[in-house]
Structure 1
């Protein structure tokens, strides 16, 4: 077997190990191949791809060097331009990425993902129209999750929220673990006033990434918006329940003063309906809210309401409340 043949044999074995995620063996085989023949562009290309597996700055620099060498040896190497463009995106060097991706599609117009990545770069730059033009290049092909997500963001940024939701739905159909699709879909729904469905999508995002605090904060805000909607409809109990749900998630939120009487009315309606336990729970929540100095004007009215609630409670509930107050003070 010739030296070149042996080098290609090692390359093929390296590709096999790469595809099976055995990256250490892949790079070992590629190192052996490059010692045999350093002029094979595919060896440098795959060394670059293996390097991108580790997303630290040093590995990305190695990837740039290897992919650049592959391009030097094979100037029409579309895949190498494409991979180097992806590395530049990871490094945040979007202008360099754009040059490589444009060169990649010039050499191979069928590189669908390159159009999608170019669209993302234009989105980052706020160029929605250019992003749309890139995505139109693949609009007649079967889209992947990233394509639909990018298209959804374009519609979202343009304020076309229903169209955005349709694209985020397609994204999720392709990839049910695409967290940002749920998040953007939630915000699009909220912009259309559909806060309950927005909350349901944020819950799905939280299941996937439970440590992301911003999802909880947005959910709390949307509960507040539902509360305001219900208050306008005259549904005091549901309004109060949603305000409280929001506060239970993010107690830093502030209820506007105009909605304090809504909660008080809700307590009175619960008493009228003989829902004593819920009336008491809502009263306790309201008491916590009114501890803030800005709500001082409601203190006298609240004290009367609280007495009314305590007076209405069945004896057993009064005893339980009395005991709980002893242990919580």
Structure 2
């Protein structure tokens, strides 16, 4: 394990290829991160729990526990950004990685500048929308009703003795709340609505009726983009660039893997909001083009 000691911006690199591991260390340290690098998934999980990094990179194919399983275990305990690194053309790896909780993916072989650009775009999107890097403490209400405070930096998790909590970004602060009772924020936020689905850009809360739906950062951003566009069709390439924090410019490359990633996120989003693609209530597919919201009228019969 190699390690530097900057507690502000930390990255954990989980990669069994020593040459690639050293390359990732060089790129991330040049970007201002302190790094912790390990060669297998088990050590990677422990490193994330110990160092609470802002970013974690995971190779998919590793001995012992692979990157997909490592991502699932890390996501269950940490809010770190997960970047999957996959072999060229491994469609299943991309889909499985995103389903396991990855925020971004890089396909091999890649250039250091591309990796740096993807990381920068991911963090740019996160700072604008999810308060990444906030270090303030947020109040937590325990089961007994007593207030406590826990650090709200990305990756921070409550002790095992604390009640079950979910994290919800609100402005520049990551607020920890008990699961169950949903506190609907005041109506002065940036609420958008479609039928009985509501989304608040400030608190990053999604409600169907009064039930809160817990989405990943990318799923939330995808739903927000569609709500903003209403009935205007958003192509997969357009959505892929927006999720990467880039404007739609013809010189930007959007490959098939990017479009498949949008499809995977859309599948997960639809599952969570209970939307049947065959009889959509919220989001409809425009074949050969992309996605848009359904009409405001009553949903089609099932």
**Where on the TM-score scale, by shorter chain, does this alignment land: which range?**
under 0.3
Q: TM-score, normalised by structure 2?
A: 0.25
Q: TM-score, normalised by structure 1?
A: 0.24
Which structure: greater strand fraction? 2
Higher fraction of helix: 1
Larger radius of gyration: 1
